[in-house]
Chain A
Amino acid sequence: MSDQTTDRPMIRLVELTKTYPGRTAPAVDALSLDVPEGEIVVFVGPSGCGKTTTMKLINRLIEPTSGRILLDGEDVTHVDPDRLRRGIGYAIQQTGLFPHRTVAENIATVPKLLGWDRTRVAERVDALLHMVGLAPEEYRDLHPRQLSGGQQQRVGVARALAADPPVLLMDEPFGAIDPLTRETLQNELLRIQREIRKTIVFVTHDIDEAVKMGDRIAIFAEGGRVVQYDTPERILSEPADDFVSDFIGAGASVRRLSLTRIGDATVAEDWPTLPFSADASERAAAVAAGDHDFLLLLDDGLPVEWLPSSGGGGLPVLAPVGPDHTLYDALDTMLSNNSDVVVVTDAQGRYRGTLDLPTIQDLIHVDDAAGVPTRVSRSTSRRSGEPR
């Protein structure tokens, strides 16, 4: 196991062991691990290796057989569990929403337990609905059954965040959701996390999700042991043992592309562009001047059309990638559009530059050669960023 202590752990697990009654082998075995404040730590590993058990030990839904749990420096192994839990957000795959309560009532659960007054609760509910991308006026009075799976999960996240707890536990929150929606929800959780900086423990059995979501990843193995606890970069580039390499599977170097957000990557800005309003002679002149097969037409800064220099009609710009996409997404887009270049935009959809296949290939090989990824800016950009 690698070094698992940091300066200021929000959650510290000390020699935590859980043996279920009637079992001989422990489900969690002498686990020591620090979760630094404001980071997302992902527990990942095959089924039955004790991820859920460890998470429930943290909020004491399960009592440990031995060991200690420290929350923000305080030993909480023996405090009143109900009080403890009101300060820890909890979201699960099945959502656990109350079907007989409205969305607003569901979100208000913990604030009401804490005795907040009605106006404060109502304001908080609306703010949270807004934060998770659901219009308050439209959704607050619906019942969970009237929501799609993805919307229910959004409400689940809002409910977990309701009383603004410093710590959030999420057990496969997006596990039962279709891939497209899952990606949206992952991105939104990352966006929200940039603003609220919670200490999050996130359980998944999907290594891609772990790499995407985690500031650190704890790889669990059979019997509730953590075999490697490290940053995604180091897990992908220096797996601790065969178990970890097997678990990561093939394609670790390609997967590392998903560690770099396009917003943090250098993009080529030398692709010839032309305003959409340019007339035929201007277009012809631009075609003659450049050596590219296509010109990019911008309408008020928004990429709209590829203009072939060989003449003929323009082709629409398919699927530009934005700052929150990763290099992996860029590669994916190129492959699925059968193209070797992809348009990069800023958050408002305005043209920023282009990325081409050779650049991405280079990045893969640089990573392989150096053994250390090029990702430097992701975690810093997450931690600096907008004010609260």
Chain B
Amino acid sequence: MSATAPPPSADAPPRRGATARRTAPSPRVWGLPLLLAAVLGGLYLYVGSQDLDRIERRSLNAEYLLSRTVQHLTLSVVVVVLILAVAIPLGILLTRPRARRFAGPVLAVANIGQATPTLGLIVLFAVVFVAWDVRTIVIVAVWLYGILPVLRNTMVGLDQVDRSMIEAARGMGMTPLRVMLSVELPLAVPVMLSGIRTALVITVGTVALATFVGAGGLGDVISNGIASSRDTVLLTGSVLVAVLALAVDWLAGLVEDLLRPRGA
């Protein structure tokens, strides 16, 4: 206790300059697309300098490559949308007090999904569910594979939100739904997004396996290269898958920066 009449605000001055800023465009942000463009350019020049035979030309033409890329992206988008549609609500549900006890078992199942080799899963489904469309088989198998990171990160993200803050929100008369939408989810977003980013990259990479059941995608280019022992084709297919995965990761990173709550 002191009688030295403290000034009206004895508190420390605010830490100025610490204001949350959106990351300005920087070499870190633009470096990767430039690199990817350079790789693609290099690949184009290299392939162009080769004397392509008939078999190689069947794979290495713009129309074919474009159609496989579109197939690849379509499959990936469907899978990711399904992952989000299931894993996020499930993650929210499993962090509610009443459903908590199911969290362990569900995570265990999701773990199995990820631990199982996807190729094995695809082949297994193709054998067991003969009636299914090949694309359905790929979608389900890759979906199972990618659920875990999103589910786990949704749960971790929600769990790390300060309990006392949630209680304060309830204490002010916010409904549970409102607390979820305007407090818990915004604060869980960074952790959730990093899970989603992982799922995206995994998915784009794994969809390459679709070729084994004839569901198309850039995997076709790779398997053409293997089947015909044409290294240029194999190289092109591999580079395209890698570039696509990195590009998607980069995009997701941008979204992540954009959606990160300010001040948190």
Contacts and interface: CB of A to CB of B under 8 A. Distances in A.
B128 interface: no
Report, as a range, how many residues of chain A touch the other chain: 35 or more
Interface stretch (A138-146, A268-276, A378-386): A138-146
A330 B2 CA distance: 9
B120 interface: no
Given A99-B187, A146-B263, A180 B9 contact: no
Contact of A97 (B8, B16, B165): B165
Contacts of B1: 179, 183, 208, 328-329, 332
Given A94-B162, A139-B14, A325 B264 contact: no
Interface stretch (B66-74, B168-176, B208-216): B168-176
B10 interface: yes
Given A150-B11, A322-B5, A329-B1, A101 B263 contact: yes
Contacts of B2: 179-180, 183, 329, 332, 336
Nearest to A96: B168
A333 B263 contact: no
Interface string A323-355: 001001110110010000010000000000000
Given A142-B14, A332-B1, A133 B175 contact: no
A193 interface: no
A41 B17 CA distance: 41
A113 B174 contact: yes
A143 B12 contact: no
B99 interface: no
A208 B1 CA distance: 10
B20 A85 contact: no
B164 A94 contact: yes
B263 A85 contact: no
A277 interface: no
Contacts of B171: 56, 59, 61, 85, 90, 92, 96, 169
Which of B5, B167, B171 counts the most chain A CB atoms within 10 A? B171
B187 A329 contact: no
A102 interface: yes
B5 A146 contact: no
A99 B169 CA distance: 12
Q: Which of A84, A169, A180 has the most CB of B within 10 A?
A: A180
A134 B5 CA distance: 18
Q: Which of A59, A83, A101 has the most C-beta atoms of chain B within 10 angstroms of its own C-beta?
A: A101
Interface class of chain B by DSSP: loop
A95 B167 CA distance: 11
B18 interface: yes
A96 B167 contact: yes
B175 to A, nearest CB: 5
A148 interface: yes
Contacts of B11: 147-151, 154, 181, 184
B41 interface: no
Contacts of A98: 165, 169, 183
A295 interface: no
Interface string B1-45: 111111011111111101110000000000000000000000000
B1 to A, nearest CB: 6
Contacts of A133: 8-9
A100 B168 contact: no
B186 interface: yes
Contact of A180 (B10, B20, B164, B187): B10
A22 to B, nearest CB: 14
B261 interface: yes
B58 interface: no
A134 B12 CA distance: 12
A329 B263 CA distance: 39
Contact of A99 (B6, B18, B174, B263): B263
B15 A146 contact: yes
A87 B12 CA distance: 32
A235 interface: no
A163 B186 CA distance: 24
B174 to A, nearest CB: 7
A35 to B, nearest CB: 17
B183 A319 contact: no
B174 A82 contact: yes
B101 interface: no
A86 B3 contact: no
B173 A84 contact: yes
A98 B161 CA distance: 10
B168 A90 contact: yes
A17 B227 CA distance: 77
A322 B2 CA distance: 12
A109 interface: yes
Nearest to A334: B3
B172 A110 contact: yes
A61 B170 contact: yes
Contacts of B183: 98
Contacts of B10: 150, 180-181, 184
Interface string B244-264: 000000000000000001111
Q: Which of B165, B178, B187, B261 has the most CB of A within 10 A?
A: B165
Nearest to B18: A146
Given A96-B169, A145-B263, A319-B4, 8 more contacts: A92-B168, A96-B164, A96-B167, A100-B263, A133-B9, A138-B14, A149-B11, A181-B10
- Top-6 shortest CB links A-B: A96-B168, A143-B263, A100-B261, A150-B11, A86-B173, A85-B173
Interface of B: 1-6, 8-16, 18-20, 162, 164-165, 167-175, 178, 183, 186-187, 261-264
12 contacts: A85-B171, A87-B173, A94-B168, A96-B171, A97-B168, A99-B261, A100-B263, A101-B263, A142-B14, A146-B16, A150-B11, A321-B3
